[in-house]
A and B are shown apart, each in its own frame.
Chain A
Amino acid sequence: MTEALARAMPLQGVAGGLLIGVSSALMLLGLGRIAGVSGLIARAVGLARAASFDQVAVAFIIGLLTGAFVFSRLFGPVESNYPESTKALLLAGLLVGFGSRLASGCTSGHGICGVSRLSVRSIAATATFIVFGAITAALMRALGITQ
């Protein structure tokens, strides 16, 4: 538990979370759009059913990259520890891409936009991916699989 307290960043977490929430509110009230990153990526690269060019989706994704890049330049390197295994990254990416599209959303669209709207679908999806994320991590630990 002390280890957890040592690593947890409650203040930065809430501050960053508030910024994410305000960003999502700007998309909703400004443009009438859901700030769901999986859907916006699919639309930005033309992997969604919508036929026409989605400039809002492209701009949001460019902003996402820019915001993190500028922050890391201004305030120093942002810690980002990725799994060692390329196979793990590939498998995880494939599942995250397919699953988020099948579920019509991910951590942002369901977890933030949908849950705050008290959408039953989003609450069900969020609870499900947290539980299955935890089961997967527990199984990997039990079977001695490292990332």
Chain B
Amino acid sequence: MSRQVVIALCSGSMFGAGLAISGMADPSRVRGFLDLAGAFDPTLLFVMAGALLPMAIAWRFQRAMQCPCFSETFEIPAMRRPDKRLMIGAVIFGIGWGIAGLCPGPAIVGLALIPAKAAVFVAAMLLGMGLYRVVEPRL
């Protein structure tokens, strides 16, 4: 295994464990955050705060680095203005997220925790991604 594969495996494992620890692997908890009229559950905000801190520090380091530690180039998006695609995509994503309380990370983690239900969501999600792949050239 290349060093890059090992690092990606480590990073993915930490991400998956982080979702499990934080309660974010439970879509009913995410929905408890989005459904303000219900029994509001602010846990998601604590997860965001916890995750933003190391990343804010990481971006400071990134700006001072010529290249990543174990790779040749930084593959990061250019800083652009929001456009129609971004905003329409975020609206569509938000509606789907609001219906089930699931987004891609927790859905993959769900395959390890509650496979039968998560597989239904993941299959539909891959279909949605495939659909985008088909219509992308025409957008």
Identify the A interface with B (CB < 8 A).
1, 3-4, 7-10, 12-35, 37-38, 41-42, 45, 47-49, 55-57, 59-72, 77-83, 86, 88-104, 106-108, 110-113, 115-117, 119-121, 124-126, 128-138, 140-141, 147
Complex: how many Å from CA A147 to CA B38?
A: 14
| Chain B interface category by residue count | 35 or more
Asked if residues B15 and A31 are in contact (CB atoms below 8 Å), the reply is: no
Asked if residues B125 and A136 are in contact (CB atoms below 8 Å), the reply is: no
A-B contact pairs, 19 of them (CB 8 A): A9-B23, A13-B23, A23-B12, A28-B62, A33-B68, A34-B75, A55-B8, A59-B12, A63-B8, A67-B13, A80-B114, A94-B128, A96-B107, A96-B121, A99-B128, A100-B89, A112-B55, A124-B82, A137-B98
Closest 8 CB pairs of A and B: A63-B12, A17-B50, A97-B128, A16-B22, A103-B89, A93-B124, A136-B98, A95-B96
Complex: how many Å from CA A66 to CA B17?
A: 8
Contact of B17 among A4, A71, A86, A133 (CB under 8 A): A71
A97 CB, min distance to chain B CBs, angstroms:
2
